[in-house]
Amino acid sequence: MRITPATADQILQAIQHTRANTTIVNVWATWCQPCVEEFPDIMKVYEKYKGQGVRVVFISADFENPPHDAEAFLKKQGVDFVTFLKSGKDMAFINTLDPNWSGALPATWIYNAQGQKQHFWEGKVSLEQFEKTVRETLGKRDS
């Protein structure tokens, strides 16, 4: 696992060019208690559905230098894939990623196989809601 600094434009490009059937994008931070609480649920959904083409893109909103806290947290959670570290000015990042996003954390988006946003939440989401939404998005992939 490694953390790669990235702008919102770079992250949106990564989402658009994925071969996933469903992509969960989650912006979190180690200092955000609701983020820390919901993180294991996102990993559970990922582990359960990755065989069906679900991908997770984690974006840490922790401070850029140094990202040690974020790296330690990701390792403890069992993340073994590339994740991103928010880079650039906060408002530019927020407005580019999604103009409807207030900047509150955690923030989660679900994208379909074509890279189109299907769902968006600000704040902590339950395991049941994540799983229900991922199943719905996977079910729409052939439409």
pLDDT 10s digits, 34-49: 999 999 999 999 999 9
What pLDDT was estimated at residue 140?
A: 74
pLDDT at 143 over 50: no
pLDDT of 52-62, one tens digit each? 999 999 999 99
> Greater confidence, 63 or 33?
33
Residue 62 contacts residue 36 (beta carbons within 8 Å): no
What pLDDT was estimated at residue 142?
A: 47
Residue 108's nearest CA partner among 85, 92, 126, 90 is 126
Question: In whole angstroms, what is the distance from residue 141 CA to residue 143 CA?
Answer: 6
Mean of the per-residue pLDDT values of the chain? 92
Confidence of residue 19 (pLDDT cuts 50, 70, 90): confident
